Structure 1
Amino acid sequence: MEHDLVRPRKARPGDHIAVLSPSFAAAGAFPEIHEQAMRRLAEVTGLVPVEYPTTREVGASPAARAADVNAAFADPRVRGILAVVGGEDQITVIPHLDANLARADPKPFLGTSDNTNLHHWLWGLGIASFYGGSSQVHLGPGPAVDDIHARSLRAALLTGERLEITDPGESEDVGIDWADPRALESFGEREPTQPWDWYGPRRVVTGATWGGCLEVLQWILTAGRFRFPAEVLRGGVLIVETSEELLPAREVGWIVRALGERGVLGAVDAVLVARPPVSDFHRRPAAAERARLRQQQRDTVVDVVARYNPGAVVCVGVPFGHTRPQWILPHGGPVTVDGVQRRIFADYR
C-alpha cells in the first residue's frame, strides 16, 4: 500500500510567505521578538512575510485561526506558510480547515511541536510538508539565525536541495525568556552535544518520513485523526521528538509502545529520535543529571522499538525537535538513514 504525496512547488525570491499563529499567538505576546524574526526571515530567504488577522491575536478562536490558514492557501501570491510557534490546542483548529483549498494550491508548510496537527492534516490530504521552523524560536531570538536552520529553511522553501543532516556541536534546551530584552541579542545556555547513538542493523534505509512531536501524535491518534492502516508507512522513516513539557522517560516509552501496538513501529524501516529538552526556565538540573535524563529517554525508546521491530535502523540525538540549533526535516519526503556510514541525508524537493 502506498500513500503518494504531492510536493508543493518552491517559492522564488520576492514571493509572499504567510506567517501564521495556528496555535499560540506568541507574535502578539512578544512583538519585539516577532518583528526581529520577520526581518531575518526576509533576509535569509528573500521572501516577503505576510501576516494575517490572528498572527498577533492572543486568544483568537480556533475558527478564526483556521480562517487565516484557509486564506493563506487561497491566496495565489503566497508560496509558503510558516508557523510562529507551537502551543497546545491546534487540534481544535483542524475541523475548521478547508481541504479543497489546500488541495487546489499546495504550499510548503513549516512548523514544529503542536503544528504536528497541521502536518498530519496535510499528510492525510496527500501533501508533503516540512517538520520544523518556528519564527518565534528559531528566527527572532539571539544574535543571529543558526546556520543549520537557515540552510534547511532555504532548502525547504526555495532550493529543494539534498542536505546532510549534521551535528552543530552545541545545543540549548530553552532560550532566554522572550519578555527579557536580552532575548533579542543572546542565545540561551548552550552546551556541547554528544555523538548520536546508532542501533539496529548496519544497513541503508531511504524512505518517506512520518511523525512529529510524540505528545501531539498521541492526541491525533486518540482523536481518530490518523485513519490509515499502519501498512501505509511501510519502509518509511519515523521521526519523533518530545516537547518542553519534559515528560518522564517512562511516559515517553508508553507513547512509543502505543505506536508499536498501532503497527507503526513494525511498518517503518528506520527511526530518528531527536535530542530531547531536559530543562526549562524553572528546572535546570546539573549537567550530569541532564545527561542521565537524556540517556534514560534514549534507552527507553530504543528498548521499545527493538521489541516491535529489531530490524529498524535507529539513530538518537538528531537536532530536529524542541532544542536549538534545529534542522527542519521533510515530513512525507525522503530521508536516507545510513546505518553503515552513520550519516543522514534529507531531500527537500
Structure 2
Amino acid sequence: MTGGVLFGPHFTAMVKIDTITLPDFPLLLAPMEDVSDPPFRVVCKDNGADLMYTEFISSEGLIRDAIKSRKKLDIFDYERPIGIQIFGGDEDSLAMAARIVDVTNPDLLDINFGCPVKKVAGKGAGAGVLKDIDLMIRLTDAVVKATRLPVTVKTRLGWDEQSKNIEEVAERLQDVGIKALAIHGRTRSQMYKGEADWSLIGKVKNNPRIKIPIFGNGDIDSPQKAVEYKNRYGVDGIMIGRAAIGYPWIFREIKHFVATGEMMAPPTVDERVEVCRRHLRKSLEWKGPIVGINEMRRHYANYLKGLPGIKDYRNRLVTLKTMEEVEGVLDEVQKNYAGYVIERDPIVLENYHEHCPL
C-alpha cells in the first residue's frame, strides 16, 4: 500500500508467520544483545509489542552447554508469541543448536545474519555471513531441516555499499523455507551510522515472487515515521530496537497513532515509575538480588529522563544495593514529582552496540 495515511478500521487484516497469527501491521521487539532479556521484554509486552525475540544465542555456546547461552533460552508463556534467535557460521553447529532450541518450545526460531559487532561478524557469523550468500543459504537450509519450528531470518542490506544483494538473498531464503524476513536498512559496513535506507526493503516487499512477511527495521523513533514507512514501503510490520530502550511506550504510541491518527500523551511520572518498578522486580526475579540490582542501574536514566533535578535521585539509585532501598527512592520520585507533566522529546537512538559485551 502506498499513498496517504490510513487509520482505524482500514487496518483489519492479519499477518501470518506459518501458523502464528499476528495483528495487521505488527510491531516486533528486535533481539538486542544485553538488552532483550525477560525483564525488558515484559515491559515491552505490557505496552503493545506483538512479537518478541530473545537476545541472540551462540550455537557454539549452546552446544558447549555454556551457562550464559542456556539461560538466554528462558521464555515464559505470557511472552508468547516469542522467538529464540541463534547465530553461528557452521552448518552442523547451527542445526544442533536448532534441535536444542526445539526442546524449549518457542513459537519460532530466528537466525541472526545481521549483527555487525566485530567479535561476531569477524568470525563469519551474524552479518559476517553476508560475505558468502551461498553459505548463508546452506546455513539456513540446515536449520530449517533440523527443526519443527517456523524459521525466520534477520539480516541487513548487504556487507557494504558494493554488495547490497538483499533482493536476491530474500528470494533464496524464501526458497529454502523461511517463513518471514526482517531487514535492517543498513549494510554491515555502516554499522549504525547514517540513515537507514528503506528503499531496498520496499523493493523486497513489492517483489511479486516474495510471499512471506517482510518486516522493516532501522531508525523508527516515532509513531509518525512508523506509519509513513508502512505506507511508503508497504512492509508487513516494523521491528523496533533502540527506540524501545528505556521507552517501551513506543509500541502503544504507534498503535494508538495507527488507530486514530493522533498522538498519545507521553507517559506520566506515575507510569514511568511503575514501569521502572515492574522492570526492577522482574530483573531481581530472573537474575537474583545482586546481578538484578546491578544490571538495572543502566535503565534509570532513561525511565526518569525529562524530570528537572532528577540527577540526585539517579545518582542514589545507581549506588543502592537492595530492592527496598531502590523502591524507597522511587516512592520519593513519585511523591515529589506528582502532577509534573514531562514534555515529549524526540527519542534518541542510543548506539548501545558500542558498549555491547561481545
**Which has the larger Rg?**
2
Greater share of residues in helix: 2
TM-score by length of 1: 0.32
TM-score by length of 2: 0.31
Greater share of residues in strand: 1
